[in-house]
């Protein structure tokens, strides 16, 4: 195959020269490989769109975290000629690759892409005019992620979120206001976290949206409402198993379309958005992804 690598060399974990290692492994498996290193915000999206428009390769291999994947997906969606995506985990937060169980070693990955992976149609979400591949989040978790310094985030990985989270819990503005409206759901009131997810893996938790699937045409919405502190702690202990979805302070449902309005900011695939009010919709089988 003709593979074009879009690599965010500034993404997360210290990996040595992962772009080069991956390119060499793919060459050894008989592919032709071209390589592009991104140079700042939205550059991965521009490069992805440019490659789709040119149509000279068979797939776009994105190396980076969820934020880089988000950009590549936005670039693909902006083109009439939607090249398939092949994601490779190279960031601090790699929820989507983790969900797909993509091999993390370059040699294993080259073998996987060559002999096992297939291009399958997957759903994409749209919030306002921004596409997302994994999740839109609003509320405390989202704010915590942005208050944590980028460097600390890189060193501590997702643990940094929890340290900041504990600080956040004792501060007074834990609860934000939200209004959520969809065809058969309405909520207006205080909340801790609201997210709309494509996959079931979010913030390193593998069961946050336990039965979510990326090709059922639906997004999974999860709301953690204002609750007494002991109930919030209980919910926190249930996040790993997925039992939180049955907690009385949690609403969990599937949707194709809803509207959110909140006084907290939102983030999309881990990147901050400045939306306060927005529509969120599922776009069924919008692109193809190798997994
Ligand atoms: Mg789904």
pLDDT in tens, 184-229: 999 999 998 899 999 999 888 889 999 999 999 999 999 999 988 7
Report CA(198)–ligand 1 centroid distance (Å): 5
User: What is the value of pTM for the model shown?
Assistant: 0.90
Instruction: Say what the pLDDT of residue 19 is.
Output: 92
Report CA(220)–ligand 1 centroid distance (Å): 6
Terminal CA-to-CA distance of the chain, rounded, Å?
Answer: 15
How sure is the predictor about 265, in pLDDT bands with cuts at 50, 70 and 90? confident
- Looking at 46, 179, 181, 271, which residue is catalytic? 271
> In the numeric block, which tokens belong to residue 88?
């490779």
How sure is the predictor about 84, in pLDDT bands with cuts at 50, 70 and 90? very high
Report CA(54)–ligand 1 centroid distance (Å): 31
The answer to whether the CB of 89 falls within 8 A of the CB of 247 is: no
Closest CA to 273 of 125, 161, 130: 130
Least confident of 157-171, 204-218, 232-246, 259-273: 157-171
Residue that is written with structure tokens 């996987």 in the block: 112
The answer to whether the CB of 159 falls within 8 A of the CB of 92 is: no
Pairwise CA distance, residues 251 & 109, whole Å: 38
Pairwise CA distance, residues 144 & 159, whole Å: 12
Per-residue pLDDT tens digits for 103-159: 999 999 999 999 999 999 999 999 999 999 999 999 876 666 555 555 444 444 555
Number of H helices, E strands in the chain: 9, 15
Closest CA to 228 of 203, 192, 176, 195: 192
- Look at residue 41 and give its three-state secondary structure: coil
Question: Is position 271 annotated as part of the catalytic site?
Answer: yes
Relative orientation angle of helices 106-115 and 18-28, to the nearest 10 degrees: 40
Report CA(100)–ligand 1 centroid distance (Å): 13
Pairwise CA distance, residues 93 & 42, whole Å: 18
CB atoms within 10 A of CB 284: 14
The answer to whether the CB of 121 falls within 8 A of the CB of 285 is: yes
State what percent of residues in the chain have pLDDT above 70: 87
Domains and CATH numbers, the chain: 2-117 (3.40.50.10330), 132-284 (2.60.200.40)
Pairwise CA distance, residues 129 & 166, whole Å: 33
Least confident of 17-21, 113-117, 250-254, 278-282: 17-21
Least confident of 64-73, 81-90, 111-120, 166-175: 166-175
């Amino acid at each position: 195959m003709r593979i074009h690598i879009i690599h965010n060399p500034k993404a997360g974990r210290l990996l040595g020269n992962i772009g080069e290692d991956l390119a060499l492994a793919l060459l050894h498996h008989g592919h032709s490989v071209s390589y592009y290193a991104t140079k700042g915000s939205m550059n991965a999206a521009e490069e992805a769109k440019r490659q789709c428009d040119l149509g000279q390769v068979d797939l776009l291999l994105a190396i980076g975290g969820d934020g880089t994947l988000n950009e590549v997906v936005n670039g693909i969606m902006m083109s009439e000629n939607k090249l398939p995506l092949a994601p490779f985990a190279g960031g601090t937060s790699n929820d989507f690759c983790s969900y797909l169980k993509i091999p993390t070693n370059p040699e294993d990955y080259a073998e996987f892409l060559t002999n096992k992976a297939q291009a399958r149609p997957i759903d994409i979400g749209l919030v306002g005019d921004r596409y997302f591949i994994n999740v839109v989040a609003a509320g405390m978790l989202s704010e915590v992620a942005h208050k944590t310094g980028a460097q600390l985030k890189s060193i501590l990985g997702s643990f940094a979120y929890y340290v900041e989270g504990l600080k956040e819990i004792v501060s007074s503005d834990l609860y934000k206001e939200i209004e959520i409206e969809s065809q058969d759901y309405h909520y207006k009131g205080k909340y801790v976290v609201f997210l709309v997810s494509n996959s079931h893996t979010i913030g390193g938790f593998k069961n946050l949206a336990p039965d979510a699937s990326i090709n059922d045409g639906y997004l999974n919405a999860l709301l953690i409402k204002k609750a007494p502190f002991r109930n919030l702690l209980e919910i926190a202990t249930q996040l790993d198993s997925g039992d939180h979805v049955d907690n009385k302070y949690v609403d969990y449902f599937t949707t194709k379309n809803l509207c959110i309005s909140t006084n907290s900011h939102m983030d999309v695939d881990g990147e901050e958005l400045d939306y306060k009010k927005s529509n969120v919709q599922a776009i069924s089988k919008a692109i193809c992804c190798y997994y």
